[in-house]
Amino acid sequence: MTLKERHMSDTLVPYLSQSIAWTLLSRSPLHAWHEHPMLGGAGREPTQAMETGTLAHQMVLGGDRVVTLDFPDWRTNAAKAARDELRAAGKTPVLRKHIEAIEPVRDSVLRTLADYGIDLGAMHVEERMEWTQDGVLCAGTPDAWGERICLDLKTMPELPSPSELARKMCGGSWPMQRRAYLDGLERGPDPEGAGRRKWIWVLAETEPPFASTIATCDAVVQELGRHQWIKALARWKALLDSGYEAPWKYPSLINVEAPLYVSKQLEDLT
């Protein structure tokens, strides 16, 4: 089956996720194609920070999926067999030494959630959803959502200051992820919750002192995310409607525009 035929198949239309949408906006259609599991299929090579974050997510959100094994590493046949058996059963095998390193992160996050009266046991946790928006099939998996709240857990070695957090948030995919998942919930599993659900980020350090906190955002950040998501939807639809070859490319000419702070530097020098 050709790529064009895959696009024409009702069951094989490439969906748009918030992560692919961010790659599309921040890098290029070529990179989005490369990462998409139904197109290039390459994905992203996980970094150590990503693997640590994934383990923290599973320990906080994953219920009984994480299984601790008492091997020093995965090099022996016994360790490999136990690991493979658990993976085949849908579990996540983890060495005890790695679990112990993440336990303080889990405990800190659960204390923070408890302080705000958030009960993960009463929420939908890591449930995949699909929805159609502006003629585009979309898909995503929020970390956790309930009647009044949707949360996303983010881990990092060190929590930034509030001003640094603002730059990190607005310079990344956070605003767009917020908008995409709230839109998805309202168009998918919970249309009755439209407009009444609050979004929060739960931020956690993976290094001592293992601080954790809850972050929200103002109307400007929310509007930024809305515009980013709308732009990604329109661009994805245009790419799919145009076919599968020529449009998926990196720009052949780039004109670099100086950011605002460089203009200020220039003023100071003249």
N-to-C CA span, the chain: 62
How do the pLDDT tens digits run along the chain, 270 residues long?
344 444 444 457 899 999 999 999 999 999 999 999 998 887 665 565 666 777 888 888 876 677 888 888 888 999 899 888 888 887 778 788 777 888 899 999 999 999 999 999 899 998 999 999 999 999 999 999 998 999 999 999 999 999 899 999 999 999 999 999 999 999 999 988 888 899 999 999 999 999 999 999 999 999 999 999 999 999 999 999 887 665 678 888 888 888 888 888 888 887
DSSP per position, 98-129: HHHHHHHHHHHHHHHHHHTT--GGGSEES--E
Q: Token pair for residue 27?
A: 């890098």
pLDDT of residue 63: 61
Q: How far is 104 from 102, CA to CA, in rounded Å? A: 6
Q: How many residues does the chain have?
A: 270
With CA atoms as reference, report the closest residue to 135 among 9, 233, 29: 233
Report the SS3 class of residue 207: coil
Please name each of the domains of the chain with its CATH number: 3-263 (3.90.320.10)
51 exposure class (CB count in 10 Å sphere: 0-12, 13-18, 19+) = exposed
pLDDT of residue 266: 84
